Structure 1
Amino acid sequence: MSDSEPSDSTRPARPRFGEYANEKKPARPQFGEYASPEEQRAAIRVPATEDNESVPIESHGDEKKSSEDTARHHVHMPTNRQPKKPSAANNAPIVEARRRTDRFSTFLLLGVGLFSVISTAPSLLQLPQMLTQAYAQFGMGEYTNTSFGTTIGWTILIVYAGLWVAALLLSLRRLAARKRTWWVPFVVGVVANVIYLILLTVAMVNDPAFMQYVNGMNG
């Protein structure tokens, strides 16, 4: 043994293998544990607040558990679904049936109006003779205001025909636009009959025989 080497009594004893393995080692600091609140917020991009508290950092396991809970919550969360509206394909037969019905009703009313114009045309062209026959049935004498009666007859016929043509054109336009149309000839027919009654009353009121009959009933 040389003089430079320390003796066995002065040399420190080497630790045995695994002698300090069971000793509690100091816990390793987590990432960002010793960082300042500003550094933590800058790392996770959270704006600073008045209270400079440290932002807790979730572990990987907590993040995974949180994502699983969120997914489970979304799966079991009831959704407010609105009732499905019937599609246009399902409504197509119903819509087509309504259009056929409307088309049939429209042409039927137009046909009735045309028949009314044609059937009343002869009597309107001879309105004084028609009124004379009506007077004879009620014992009112004879219709004497012939010229005025003839003018009223032509006026009624022209109004009749004009309204029917207007109803026909308007109905065809609405049918082409796939709009409800049956009410057009119906309303025009009502208006034509009201005009007919008004003009016929005017023709009778301006007749001296009719006024004499009315005064006799009142007297």
Structure 2
Amino acid sequence: MRPRPQYGEYATPEEQRAAIRAPADHEELTAASGYAAAHPPRPTTTAARPSRTADRIITIALLAYGLVTVLSTVPQIWDFTDFAKTWMELAGIDATFTNTAQGDLWGRIGAIVFAAGWVLTAVVSWRSLRARRLTWWIPLVGAIVTFMAMTVCLVVPLLGDPAVVSHFGG
């Protein structure tokens, strides 16, 4: 047996394993035993994934903010006639919203789309958090997509109202 290597000298792989008490790798064991194994051995350790604490906090905060937004918006757009009246006042339209039947239908569809979008975003975010992947962007993208879909639902009855169309020069 050779003496322990000095600083700057190279040790053989066997000497390195003996020094750190690591088992031989699969290829060396197979060659030493003279047979090929049907399955390679499973790794004894796995690389630790980062905990991503900041990502978790940001994701949960964004989902909480989204939930508060959904819970405060859904009742407003569920009663679409009142929502349209307020919107028309803010837009400077001095008229009464008359497209109430279509408004009620599309307001409720918009409310359901908004709530379902948040639920879907929360589920996807939760799965991504459990897999320890970077997740903070999912609530942002979910909010943008959901808000755009809900906006389409709200614009349909508004543009179907003659007062709104005439105000914008239609």
TM range, normalised to the smaller chain?
A: 0.5 to 0.7
Opposite residue 206 of structure 1, the aligned amino acid is G
Do the aligned residues in 1 keep the contact of 2:78 with 2:107 (CA within 8 Å)? yes
TM-score, length of structure 1 as denominator length: 0.52
The answer to whether residue 50 in structure 2 is matched with residue 95 in structure 1 is yes
Do the aligned residues in 2 keep the contact of 1:136 with 1:142 (CA within 8 Å)? no
1:128-139 equivalences in 2 (<5 Å) = 128-137=81-90, 138-139=92-93
- 1:78-102 C-alpha deviation (Å, 9 max, x unpaired): xxxxxxxxxxxxx96x933xx1011
- 1:103-139 C-alpha deviation (Å, 9 max, x unpaired): 0011011011101110111211111112123324513
| Structure with more relative contact order (C-alpha pairs < 8 Å, separation 6 or more) | 2
- 1:4-45 C-alpha deviation (Å, 9 max, x unpaired): xxxxxxxxxxxxxxxxxxxxxxxxxxxxxxxxxxxxxxxxxx
Shift of 1:167: 1.1
Bigger Rg over Cα: 1
2:103 to 138, 142, 149: 149
2:57 to 96, 104, 118: 104
Counting aligned pairs with the same residue, the percent is 31
Opposite residue 170 of structure 1, the aligned amino acid is V
Gaps of 5+ in 1: 1-74, 76-90
Do the aligned residues in 1 keep the contact of 2:74 with 2:115 (CA within 8 Å)? no
Residue equivalent to 2:79: 126
Q: Distance in 2 between matches of 1:129 and 1:95?
A: 49
2:115 to 161, 174, 178: 161
Residue equivalent to 2:70: 117
Alignment: residue pair count: 125
